[in-house]
Amino acid sequence: MVTVAGRSIPFQPLFEALATGKRKLLLVDHSYLSLNKPVFDRLKELLSESEALAEWETGPRISRYQAALWADFEDLADESLPAVEWRETVGGLLDVVRAAERGAERPDDAARLVERAPLPSGLAVELRPYQRDGYDWLVFLWRHGLGGVLADDMGLGKTVQTLAMIAHARDVTRDVVRDPRNRTSPEPSTYPAWRDEYPAPLPSAEGDSELPAPFLVVAPASVVSNWASEAARFTPGLRVAFLTATRRKDGTPMAEAIADADIVLTSYTVFRLDHERFAAQRWAGLVLDEAQFVKNHASQTHRLARELDAPFRLAVTGTPLENNLLELWAMFSIVAPGLFPSRRQFVEEYVKPVAAAASPAHGTDAAHGAARLRRLRRRIRPLLLRRTKQLVAPELPPKQEQVLSIPLDPKHRRLYDTWLQRERQKVLGLLDDLDRQRFIVFRSITLLRMLAVDASLVDPDNADIPSSKLDSLLDQLGDVIAEGHRTLVFSQFTSYLAKVAQRLDAAGIRYSYLDGSTRRRAETIRGFREGDAPVFLISLKAGGFGLNLTEADYVFLLDPWWNPAAEAQAIDRTHRIGQTSRVIVYRMVAADTIEEKVMKLAAQKAELIDAVLDDDGAFSSSLTADDIRSLLA
């Protein structure tokens, strides 16, 4: 029942009237209730959202992840009688939402408002204050059976916070296994609210006791070893098992391979190839590291992660949003199913309106989009924690970024302008059917980007054309090395890194090299960290994650990319906790080329991240026909 002006009105007729657009409702006493009021307009909007999330009959059924939506319902009423079961499931999440909104001046307020959790036994590190807040937030989510996204800046210790939470969960669940009476413990800060649904314990390898089901951590292959080393360092009491491609081929039963483990580590590739065996196991929780690997909702990996049965799910990523809002939908559809409606409805409810907010020329559409953006941020706020270095690590030395604009050699300029005219004419004729012609369009853009870097990248016969950018890089490196600094050099084009390597060889400058084909990745990284080579050449794709290279304090980005998150990840290989020197970043940009347009587009993309995760603002979505026209202007 809904009470309006002292009269009780059943849910169903009121909701049906609002849903069908009626402006008056006939009551049982034959009087009419006017629905032409702002409160009913707002109620209609909320009902539309809740109906998109789940079917309801006599009242809205709201997922436990929808604390902010329920808060909106409650805001419309003088007194509300929310479903007892739902409120018990959500626990204090609604209070955190409200408290964070009352005092919200920092994006980590929600984390700082949850109750303190006891630290796990055997934690061999003193958590920094913001890491302790993050740990408390993770334990809070685990206790309430909620999933979330830990999206701290790169280098702030997401792994150690997650390991501490897992260690806490293992302490608690081992206690439950040892004495089932602990399942009914009244202590709220210790045992999970959903403990009766916790996975049944597994027999130990010795067969004389039972152990709680392990946590599954899925990460890129290059990062799996980092999880193992950090677990050994920070939570040595946790038993870690690997499920690698080699183990997969040797025929060892999975149950045997993970016996007695607290954490099971595997790569996204093995997870995808062995999905049936993973699905057959019981898991205490699923952790997806570098979760941008599941941002494509159409990928098999995303589907399998979504289907895996785990009572707790956590996405860990420094880049929760790279290109468009659908990446956010894809991530939350795994860790918080029920938070958002279907993909199609999400596009209509959020993606399209928010895109309209990018242009003030849209007038009322822009205002509507801004309102939807505020609603989106409110929905994700309790379930996404993101802290930046500027916010929580002021002790880090400053990062200085500078753009080096480099004119092309005259011969290079003439060749570039000729190609630009040809590719522009070809591409502009394809933009009316961009979805079907996207491959051809992006091939042309990539060719222009390669040509702006070095003429020989598009045709080896152009090797005699001087590369101003490469000459400038060698000059800069000479000065940096002479001053005793160490440098990371990033490019998206491995063929260009090979040319840089040739010039370094000719100049007698020692270097390390890492790209996607490097087989001994860990040894290569260790060689640079422990050695004295002043330069590390790294492909942007291979070096975007899983690296801690605070030994370097200079970064050169040889070619700009319109994904600012990818560049930020590269820079944060060295600008992270442990760095004691000021970090200098040089972006080398070929003047009057597509590279300058890419820089401008990247700035627009950066607004996407800021608008959704931090402050209000407008932004563009993924590359559109207008974006491409601007690149070729």
Q: pLDDT per residue over 156-193, tens digit each?
A: 889 999 999 999 999 988 765 555 545 444 344 445 55
pLDDT, the chain, mean: 77
Claim to verify: residue 403 and residue 329 sit in the same structural domain = no
Higher-scoring residue by pLDDT: 114, 525: 525
Element (H, E) at 372: helix 364-380
Domain range spanning residue 233?
91-392
Question: Residue 599: its pLDDT value, please?
Answer: 84
Residues 63 and 135 occupy one common structural domain: no
Half-sphere CA count of 73, side-chain side, radius 13 A: 20
Instruction: Indicate if 293 and 424 belong to the same structural domain.
Output: no
Co-location of 340 and 472 in the same domain: no
Q: At residue 30, what is the residue type? A: H
153 and 223 share a domain?
Answer: yes
Q: For residues 552 and 529, what is the distance between their CA atoms, to the nearest angstrom?
A: 9
pLDDT digits (tens, 9 = 90+) for 227-246: 988 999 999 999 999 887 76
**Residue 487, phi then psi, degrees to nearest 5:** -135, 140
Asked whether residue 243 falls in the same domain as residue 154, the answer is: yes
The domain that contains 615 carries what CATH number? 3.40.50.300
Q: Which two tokens stand for residue 264?
A: 């099971």
pLDDT at 96: 53
Given 350, 369, 392, the domain boundary residue is: 392
Report residue 414 as tokens. 């003439």
Residue 355 pLDDT > 50: yes
pLDDT of residue 465: 94
Geometric angle at alpha carbon 521, from 519 and 524, rounded to 5°? 115
- Pick the residue with more confidence: 56 or 507? 507
* Token couple for 79: 């007194």
The mean pLDDT value for 279-307 works out to: 91
* Distances 538 to 495, 501, 621 between C-alpha atoms, Å: 12, 11, 28
Domain boundary among 32, 55, 83: 83
48 and 182 together in one domain: no
Q: Do 378 and 407 fall into the same domain?
A: no
What pLDDT does 405 receive? Answer: 87
Query: Which CATH number fits the domain that encloses residue 220?
Result: 3.40.50.10810
The whole-model pTM stands at 0.65
Contact by Cβ (8 Å): 357, 370: yes
What integer is the mean pLDDT of 90-113?
A: 52
Task: Tell me the mean pLDDT in the region 601-629.
Answer: 57
β-sheet with 215-219: strand ranges across: 240-243, 263-267, 215-219, 285-289, 313-316, 148-150, 384-385
pLDDT tens string 453-502: 999 999 999 999 999 999 999 988 988 898 888 999 999 899 999 999 99
Percent of the chain with pLDDT over 90: 29
Specify whether 444 is located in the same domain as 359: no
- Identify the three-state secondary structure at position 590: strand
Q: Both 163 and 272 in a single domain?
A: yes
* Least-confidence region, from 108-122, 307-321, 499-513: 108-122
**Percentage with pLDDT > 70 across the chain:** 69
Is 241 in the same domain as 160?
yes
pLDDT value of residue 57 = 39
Are residues 120 and 39 located together in one domain of the fold?
A: no
Residue where one domain finishes, among candidates 48, 83, 118: 83
Neighbouring residues of 54: CB distance < 8 A, sequence distance ≥ 6: 61, 62, 63, 338
- Tally of structural domains, the chain: 3
Instruction: Find the mean pLDDT for residues 202-212.
Output: 54
Residue 505 confidence class, pLDDT cut points 50, 70, 90: very high
CA distances from 335 to 49, 384, 449, 629 (A): 20, 10, 37, 37
- Residue 110's identity, in one-letter code, is A
The pLDDT of residue 208 is above 50: no
* pLDDT bracket for residue 85 (50, 70, 90): very low
Most trustworthy range by pLDDT among 114-118, 225-229, 402-406, 497-501: 497-501
CB 391 within 8 A of CB 107: yes
pLDDT score of 595 more than 80:
yes
Of 230 and 546, the structure prediction assigns the larger pLDDT to 230
